[in-house]
């Protein structure tokens, strides 16, 4: 029943916005670095004693199966097939040149016993667990220092059974930071596709220190009130492509990160070349696409287009703070449709939340060259709340063809923001009212040339591409 509800929910959303053709079809922007050839060796999890009754703990079966398949790493790789059933397990490791394939009626269930999620060291770019000092529980599906890993199937389900973890968080009885559902570290050539992920204890999909990652055709769900259940969080990673996803969770749907305060500055690995296409979702508490707040290693070259958010707190958000250091630059977001969203665009320069008292408050972030164009919205409360930092103005913020039906009498609120705009309704704040002209083209990152030319010729025209 759970999987059927997921599919019906997605179809209802697609039907609601069926006049937007890119929601249903679109060419792939994701370029795979490894072949999609069938693995020459395959085993089924039942061959290692697994029982799919939803009660038997199968951690050893998963571990033993992957240990066996490790002998085929240099022989073309291998596939671990998970058939129909409910397969309860604790955390297990993946290996290189592996495909984990779930049947359409397969459900991998995360154990509700915290002892089945081992505690591991904090990430070096964070300095401690994200929620508590010290270590953190390892993700349900985990891997590090891997190459060529595929997690896929025929829309099978990975269920973190996160309710117990959310309760521990809300009652402040956790002893370590909660686990993610999937985390891959220091790895490359990763594909996660054609699956449903539900009820993660914490962030759902977390590639950290990775290169060449594809997340494609996935559904991610958690209750809208569940705490910090982010959807996809590329973290200090490069060449990440996310497309054709539906996400409905209790926190940011996509959060792009790169380390926390002095630890992220010291580790110094940026998040860059992030591509997002055809994303649909909702979040009552947070943002559809967020950058930060942990961005101390830097974030750049983010391209997102053909986005739909509804029933949400915020559409697009950048979060940072004195002490973060780092930078967010060269961001281009276009073709966005918002419905029943409280704040369409939000920049927060005083987010706070520091890992400890050792951060340098003089480490100010650089926020520059952010372009947002072709945005429409209905039932929006605030068009934008854009708050920079005193003596650290956010620069070259460019807005073009933004049309929002706003309910607030004060649609824009800006401080320590500088930039340009054209064809924005309601009229934006004074610090962004200088019109975009040809000599601003280099300031406005990746601004579409034909849109710029058309805008200068006819400021009142609607140039949305759908």
Q: How many domains does the chain have?
A: 1
25, pLDDT greater than 60 = no
Q: Which residues fall within 8 angstroms of residue 125, CB to CB, at 6 or more apart?
A: 208, 209, 235, 236, 258, 259, 260, 263, 264, 267, 269, 296, 297
Catalytic residue among 251, 252, 422, 443: 251
453, pLDDT greater than 80 = no
pLDDT of residue 48: 98
16 assigned to some structural domain:
no
In whole angstroms, what is the distance from residue 399 CA to residue 325 CA? 25
For 265, other C-beta atoms within 10 Å of its C-beta total 21
pLDDT of residue 19: 38
pLDDT of residue 32: 73
110 assigned to some structural domain:
yes
12 assigned to some structural domain:
no
Q: Could you tell me the residue range of the domain that residue 103 belongs to? A: 44-449
For residue 13, what is the enclosing H or E element? helix 2-16
The tokens for 373 are 């164009």
Q: Which residues fall within 8 angstroms of residue 405, CB to CB, at 6 or more apart?
A: 377, 378, 379, 380
460, pLDDT greater than 70 = no
pLDDT of residue 450: 43
DSSP state of 341: E
Confidence of residue 449 (pLDDT cuts 50, 70, 90): low
In whole angstroms, what is the distance from residue 371 CA to residue 417 CA? 13
Best CA proximity match to 126, nearest among 322, 312, 353, 338: 353
- The answer to whether 333 touches 307, Cβ cutoff 8 Å, is yes
Q: Is 251 a catalytic residue?
A: yes
Cis-peptide into 426, omega within 30 deg: yes
CA distances in angstroms from 358 to 136, 324, 362, 364, listed in the order given: 21, 12, 12, 15
Per-state percent for the chain, helix, strand, coil, to nearest 5:
15, 45, 40
The pLDDT tens digits of the residues spanning 142-176 come to 999 999 999 999 999 999 999 999 999 999 999 99
The pLDDT tens digits of the residues spanning 229-281 come to 999 999 999 999 999 999 999 999 999 999 999 999 999 999 999 999 999 99
Confidence of residue 384 (pLDDT cuts 50, 70, 90): very high
Max distance between CA atoms of the chain, in angstroms, equals 70
The tokens for 318 are 């950048």
The tokens for 301 are 């070259």
Residues forming beta bridges with residue 367, ordered by sequence position: 328
Angle at 220 between CA 216 and CA 226, to 5 degrees: 155
Exposure string for 301-314, b = 16+ CB within 10 A, e = fewer: bbbbbbbbbbebbb
H-state helical runs in 276-328: none
Best CA proximity match to 186, nearest among 228, 156, 144, 226: 144
Lowest mean pLDDT among 308-312, 358-362, 452-456: 452-456
Give the three-state DSSP class for 148: strand
20, pLDDT greater than 70 = no
17, pLDDT greater than 80 = no
pLDDT of residue 1: 30
For residue 142, what is the enclosing H or E element? strand 141-144
In percent, the amount of the chain with pLDDT more than 90 equals 86
The tokens for 372 are 């947002």
Q: Return the higher-pLDDT residue of 103 and 443.
A: 103
33, pLDDT greater than 60 = no
466, pLDDT greater than 70 = no
Angle at 283 between CA 21 and CA 429, to 5 degrees: 85
3, pLDDT greater than 60 = no
CA contacts within 13 A on the Cβ side of 98: 23
Angle at 234 between CA 421 and CA 214, to 5 degrees: 100
DSSP letters, 172-199, are T--SSBPPPSEEEES-EEEEEESEEEE-
pLDDT of residue 447: 81
Q: Return the higher-pLDDT residue of 111 and 11.
A: 111
14 assigned to some structural domain:
no
pLDDT of residue 288: 98
In whole angstroms, what is the distance from residue 39 CA to residue 67 CA? 16
39 assigned to some structural domain:
no
Mean pLDDT of 403-425: 97
461, pLDDT greater than 60 = no
120, pLDDT greater than 90 = yes
The pLDDT tens digits of the residues spanning 194-240 come to 999 999 999 999 999 999 999 999 999 999 999 999 999 999 999 99
Angle at 198 between CA 313 and CA 149, to 5 degrees: 110
165 assigned to some structural domain:
yes
Q: Which residues fall within 8 angstroms of residue 325, CB to CB, at 6 or more apart?
A: 261, 262, 264, 265, 296, 360, 363, 364, 365
13 assigned to some structural domain:
no
pLDDT of residue 35: 47
In whole angstroms, what is the distance from residue 288 CA to residue 375 CA? 14
461 assigned to some structural domain:
no
CATH code for the domain in which residue 246 is found: 2.160.20.10
Mean pLDDT of 375-399: 98
């Amino acid at each position: 029943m759970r999987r059927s509800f997921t599919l019906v929910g997605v179809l209802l959303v697609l039907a609601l916005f069926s006049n937007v053709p890119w929601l249903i079809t679109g060419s792939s922007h994701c370029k795979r670095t490894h072949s999609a050839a069938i693995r020459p060796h395959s085993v089924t999890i039942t061959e290692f004693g697994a029982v799919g009754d939803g009660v038997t703990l199968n951690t050893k079966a998963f571990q033993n199966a992957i240990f066996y398949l490790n002998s085929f790493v240099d022989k073309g790789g291998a596939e671990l097939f998970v058939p129909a059933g409910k397969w309860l397990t604790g955390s297990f490791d993946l290996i290189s040149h592996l495909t984990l394939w779930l049947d359409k009626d397969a459900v991998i269930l995360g154990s509700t016993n915290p002892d089945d999620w081992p505690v591991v060291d904090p990430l070096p770019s964070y300095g401690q667990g994200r929620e508590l000092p010290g270590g953190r529980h390892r993700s349900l599906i985990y891997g590090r220092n891997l190459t060529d890993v595929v997690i896929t199937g025929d829309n099978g389900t990975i269920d973190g059974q996160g309710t117990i973890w959310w309760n521990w968080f809300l009652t402040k009885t956790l002893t370590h930071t909660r686990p993610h559902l999937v985390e891959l570290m220091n790895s490359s050539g990763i594909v996660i596709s054609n699956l449903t992920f539900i009820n993660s204890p914490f962030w759902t999909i977390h590639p950290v220190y990775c290169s060449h990652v594809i997340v494609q055709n996935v559904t991610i769900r958690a209750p809208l009130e569940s705490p910090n259940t982010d959807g996809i969080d590329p973290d200090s990673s490069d060449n990440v492509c996310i497309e054709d996803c539906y996400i409905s969770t209790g926190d940011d749907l996509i959060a792009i990160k790169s380390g926390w305060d002095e630890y992220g500055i010291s580790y110094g690995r940026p998040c860059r070349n992030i591509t997002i296409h055809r994303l649909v979702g909702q979040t009552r508490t947070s943002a559809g696409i967020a950058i930060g707040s942990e961005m101390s290693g830097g974030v750049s070259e983010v391209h997102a287009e053909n986005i739909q958010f509804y029933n949400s707190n915020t559409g697009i958000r950048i979060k940072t703070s004195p002490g973060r250091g780092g930078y967010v630059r060269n961001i281009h977001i276009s073709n966005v449709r918002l419905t029943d969203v409280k704040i369409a665009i939000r920049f927060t320069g005083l987010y706070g939340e520091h890992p400890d008292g050792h951060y340098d408050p003089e480490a100010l972030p650089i926020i520059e060259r952010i372009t947002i164009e072709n945005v429409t919205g209905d039932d929006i409360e605030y068009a934008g709340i854009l708050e920079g930092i005193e003596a650290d103005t956010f620069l070259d913020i460019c807005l073009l063809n933004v049309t929002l039906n706003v309910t607030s009498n004060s649609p824009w609120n800006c401080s320590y923001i500088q930039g340009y705009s054209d064809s924005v309704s309601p009229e934006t704040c004074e610090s962004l009212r200088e019109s975009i002209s040809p000599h601003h083209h280099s300031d406005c990152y990746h601004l579409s040339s034909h849109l710029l030319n058309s805008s200068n010729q006819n400021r009142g025209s609607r140039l949305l591409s759908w």
